[in-house]
Amino acid sequence: GAADLGLYRHYMQKEIFEQPRAIADTLEGVAAFTPALFGADAEAVFKDVKRLLFIACGTSYYAALTAKYWIEAIAGLPCDVEIASEYRYRTSVADPDTLVVTISQSGETADTLSALRHARDDLGMTKTLTVCNVATSAMVRESRLAYITRAGVEIGVASTKAFTTQLVSLYLLAMTLGKMRGRVTAEAEEDAIRRLRHIPTALGAVLALEPQVIDWAERFAPKQHALFLGRGLHYPIALEGALKLKEISYIHAEAYPAGELKHGPLALVDREMPVVTVAPNDKLLEKLKSNMAEVRARGGELYVFADGDSAIESADGMHVIRLPENYGDLSPVLHVVRLQLLAYHTALVRGTDVDKPRNLAKSVTVE
């Protein structure tokens, strides 16, 4: 059953390795980007949507941040992303043409549920969609539309497979809205479906990099602090990598968009500061490389998660692990898995309680 650890040492490790299956299940039956994927009246709800408002907490919030990059680029619709506990208490502007999207593994997080009710009942925003892992949850019941992720029961407090299944679901949303708006050609749709279907296989190859990540974890374990850098679509992935590390290893970790380095965090960089860089081979790579040179010039130790086809070489003070394939705009789904493994193995070396980190709960149903 779901609670059976099998050959794994922890639920978190098991859940990391379940991701190819979880994503395949989440995408099951998806043969085209049609509104019906999100509910019977989704077409009517989506039709006049002018903007999206994502609301979530924790790891689900980082899925929302990633979605913003996809939705704006693919569907051409403006997006706002809000932390649920902020949104529910601030005075914001109501807009009935906004699609309110809550994202939640549990569907029961008190702040997210209250933010949904606030948007709907106090502000009259009735176009609501939830991306959720529990079909019977309060958020699904209270939203007009839903996309159910099929991650299966997640037991580890630090979310892993829920996150990557949220990502693929949000990519479906971006493509569906883009297609409705005439921005996704039949050819692009076919290509995207093919790439989505190939993710479980590609992920298998990423998981096979575990021994290299274990090697890095040994070097990380004695550190007090770590900095994570990313740009564009991979900035939210850097945020998620830093969150994973702090949650389970208790190493202080902070993530920055690499272009912002010079406006503050560069002051922290010295020999004791490992700098994890998410470096896909995209149009920002050259800029990212100059950010990396700034770190090296200050003696910072770089740990670079690169793509197989990018010209970044290991050198003194620079460690590189390559992904087998460059996955284009779906690359965050693959890159984050290496960061999950790094956090997991660093926590193992430090001997922390990986599945039940101190002071944290799996589902925060009280404020």
The residue range among 30-38, 53-61, 218-226, 258-266 that interacts with ligand G6P, by the rule CB under 6 A, is 53-61
Q: Is 137 in the site for ligand G6P (CB under 6 A)?
A: no
Q: Which is nearer to ligand G6P, 244 or 335 (CB)?
A: 244
Question: How many angstroms separate the Cα of 231 from the Cα of each of 66, 70, 107, 212, 238?
Answer: 11, 14, 30, 23, 8
Can you say whether the dihedral through the CA atoms of 171, 176, 181, 187 is positive or negative? positive
Q: Does residue 99 contact residue 45 with C-beta atoms inside 8 Å? A: yes
Let me know if 21 is exposed, middle or buried by CB neighbors in 10 A (0-12, 13-18, 19+).
middle
For ligand G6P, the binding residue among 13, 66, 98, 104 (CB under 6 A) is 104
Nearer to ligand G6P, 102 or 277 (CB): 102
293: Cβ–Cβ under 8 A, 6 or more apart, which residues?
none
Q: How many residues bind ligand G6P (CB under 6 A)?
A: 16
> Which one, of 82, 253, 33, lies nearest residue 158 by Cα?
253
The residue from 13, 66, 112, 165 that contacts ligand G6P (CB under 6 A) is 112
Does residue 310 belong to the site contacting ligand G6P (CB under 6 A)? no
Residue 47 is which amino acid? K
Catalytic residue list: 362
Task: Walk across the sheet containing 318-323 and list its strands.
Answer: 252-257, 225-230, 274-279, 301-307, 318-323
Minimum CB separation of residue 112 from ligand G6P in Å reads 5
Closest-approach residue to ligand G6P (CB): 58
Question: Which of 26, 85, 106, 176 lies at the binding interface for ligand G6P (CB under 6 A)?
Answer: 106
Asked if 298 is part of the footprint of ligand G6P (rule: CB under 6 A), the reply reads no
* Candidate ranges 21-29, 103-111, 180-188, 300-308; the one touching ligand G6P (CB under 6 A): 103-111
Residue 84 near residue 111, CB atoms below 8 Å: yes
Distance in angstroms (rounded) separating the CA atoms of residues 139 and 25: 21
CB 61 → ligand G6P: shortest distance, Å? 8
Which residue in the set 105, 130, 277, 291 belongs to the binding site for ligand G6P (CB under 6 A)? 105
User: Mutual orientation of helices 161-180 and 58-70 as an angle, nearest 10°?
Assistant: 30
Give min distance, CB of 221 to ligand G6P, in A.
22
Taking a C-beta distance cutoff of 8 angstroms, is the pair 343, 248 a contact? yes
Residue 16 found at the interface with ligand G6P (CB under 6 A): no
Taking the complex as a whole, how short is the minimal distance between the CB of residue 337 and ligand G6P, in angstroms? 16
Stretch that binds ligand G6P, among 25-33, 208-216, 306-314, 356-364 (CB under 6 A): 356-364
Q: What is the DSSP string of 227-264?
A: EEEE-GGGHHHHHHHHHHHHHHH--EEEEEEGGGGGGT
Per CB under 6 A, residues contacting ligand G6P are: 57-60, 104-106, 109, 112, 157-159, 360, 362-364
